[in-house]
Amino acid sequence: MSLMTSGNRRDFLSAGIKLTAAGTLLGAGLSGRTAVAAACAPENLTHIDVSHYLLRNVRLEEGFVRHKGVITATRTGLYDIEINGAQITGIHAAGFSSTLPAWDAAGHVLLPATRDMHIHLDKTFYGDGWRAPLPRKSVIDMIHQEEQILPEIVPTSEMRAEKLIGLLQSKGNTEARSHCNIDPISKLDGLAHLQQAIEKHPQDFTAKIVAFPQHGLLRSNVEGMMREAMKMGANFVGGLDPTNVDGAMEKSLDTMFSIALDFAAPVDIHLHETEPHGVAAIRYMLKTVRENPQLKGKVTLSHAFALGTLSGSELDAMIEELKAQQFSIATTVPIGRVIMPLPQLRAAGVPVWSGTDTIADHWQPFGSGSMLEKANVYAQLYRGPDEFSLSRALGIATNEVLPLNSQGEQQWPKAQDSATMMLVAASCSAEAVAHIAPVMATFHNGKQVFGQLKKI
């Protein structure tokens, strides 16, 4: 059977993955629990409520299995994992003698928890029934729609953010970077509501906030409001398409960086532009960082679709400069006409992080909150169906923390590692990615934040 052409393959994946995402979200339900967990909750399953305990019968990856030099499988074994407070304090052979309270992991594989590095927790329809987006023509058209919707959703945005946090936890996420609208309609109310929602999860979820001028930094004249947002505790300075939305690339970017420099804050900019001025914007940002070394390592390009318009030596040079200035890329692993150079970026050492963007709002309804799904899409789009490639795909969801290194040596977990992890109904990380396996339990710094396990 011949391989599909790149275009046909992407069209096929676009339809299939959207169905998968919709099914995953339906399984999660508005309560934020997976269908599997909801269907398999007999009375003897409990939530871990102590700080020093054992997880018994945990499946850990031990190495790769090779046949004639080719990696064909992943070798695993069962262990008892001791957790004390926020750390893994012991990794013992299964059947370890102990009087500690213990719960049965039932042979599920233990993987690092995932991170949603691009989401909008502040504005969503999630938690209030089904509502499809309206047709759209452009980003400006979508901004006009949002201006009509925000007065309706901002008053209840704290409740909706809390529901989204629960959904993310059910998918194995314990950390998120959330963009938060700073605009003339919601003003600073959305930020205050989002902060209140996050403050309710001091021990079970970590979130950083990007002050995001969704209606344009210059277009909506919100520089002063952005500065107030930083004073209120936003962690990142955001930006948006400096040419297509703001109409003045250099002035828009200079304003964004001026705020960042004044508050010694990192930057995370939405850059959707694929036209030549999208590439020009990236080059201008690189120039700005070279001239202001204190910004080095503090710039994230979200989406960065312009990178998909480059090839050959031009792309190589751009990636080398992104690495030199320590830029990072946040991606939803897009399915579309632009093929992003995500494998090349990762191979060069440029951090590439996955994110949901939106779960269900007026922009799109396809998000599931699952970074395993993003790793799955990555593996499909970039031709990685084999055991090794599937295991490496997981890295975009975990900040490249993987159970095995590329040589097949066990590197996670180790004693004294943070107990921020998830139990997944799979035999190894490759299967977890390939099948978008259900998350059975999620832990943040040793605290169980999702799922139920049998006490033994």
Q: What is the pLDDT of residues 398-444, one digit of tens each?
A: 999 999 999 999 999 999 999 999 999 999 999 999 999 999 999 99
- In whole angstroms, what is the distance from residue 74 CA to residue 407 CA? 12
312 CB contacts (<8 Å, ≥6 apart)? none
- Burial (CB count within 10 angstroms: exposed 0-12, middle 13-18, buried 19+), residue 9: middle
| Spatial contact of 353 and 396, defined as CB atoms under 8 Å apart | yes
Given its phi and psi angles, is residue 409 left (phi above 0), alpha (psi -120 to 50 degrees) or beta? Answer: beta
Tokens of 276: 């030549």
**Can you tell me whether residue 450 is helix, strand or coil?**
strand
- 116 forms bridges with which residues in the sheet? 176
| Entry field: residues in the chain | 456
- In whole angstroms, what is the distance from residue 236 CA to residue 328 CA? 14
Q: What is the pLDDT of residues 141-172, one digit of tens each?
A: 999 999 999 999 999 999 999 999 999 999 99
Alpha-helix residue ranges (DSSP H) falling in 29-138: 35-39
Helix (H) or strand (E) holding 157: helix 157-170
Phi first, then psi, for residue 252 (nearest 5°) are: -65, -50
Say which amino acid occupies 37: A
pLDDT at 33: 38
- In whole angstroms, what is the distance from residue 319 CA to residue 307 CA? 9
pTM over 0.85: yes
**Does the CA dihedral 365-211-445-45 come out positive or negative?**
negative
List the end-to-end C-alpha distance of the chain, in Å, as a whole number.
Answer: 50
| Spatial contact of 25 and 368, defined as CB atoms under 8 Å apart | yes
- In whole angstroms, what is the distance from residue 404 CA to residue 423 CA? 16
DSSP structure class, residue 434: H
- 78 forms bridges with which residues in the sheet? 59
Cα 309 → chain centroid:
24
Phi first, then psi, for residue 229 (nearest 5°) are: -60, -40
pLDDT at 36: 42
Tokens of 346: 């990762």
pLDDT at 2: 31
pLDDT at 129: 86
pLDDT at 43: 59
Tens-level pLDDT at each residue, the chain (456 residues): 233 333 444 444 444 444 444 444 433 333 333 444 444 445 589 999 999 999 999 999 999 999 999 999 999 999 999 999 999 999 999 999 999 999 999 999 999 999 999 999 999 999 888 999 999 888 899 999 999 999 999 999 999 999 999 999 999 999 999 999 999 999 999 999 999 999 999 999 999 999 999 999 999 999 999 999 999 999 999 999 999 999 999 999 999 999 999 999 999 999 999 999 999 999 999 999 999 999 999 999 999 999 999 999 999 999 999 999 999 999 999 998 889 999 999 999 999 999 999 999 999 999 999 999 999 999 999 989 999 999 999 999 999 999 999 999 999 999 999 999 999 999 999 999 999 999 999 999 999 999 999 999
| Residue labelled with tokens 């990007």 | 210
Cα 131 → chain centroid:
23
- Burial (CB count within 10 angstroms: exposed 0-12, middle 13-18, buried 19+), residue 83: buried
| Residue labelled with tokens 């009375």 | 43
DSSP structure class, residue 32: T
Q: Where are the beta strands (DSSP E) in 147-253?
A: 173-181, 206-212, 236-240
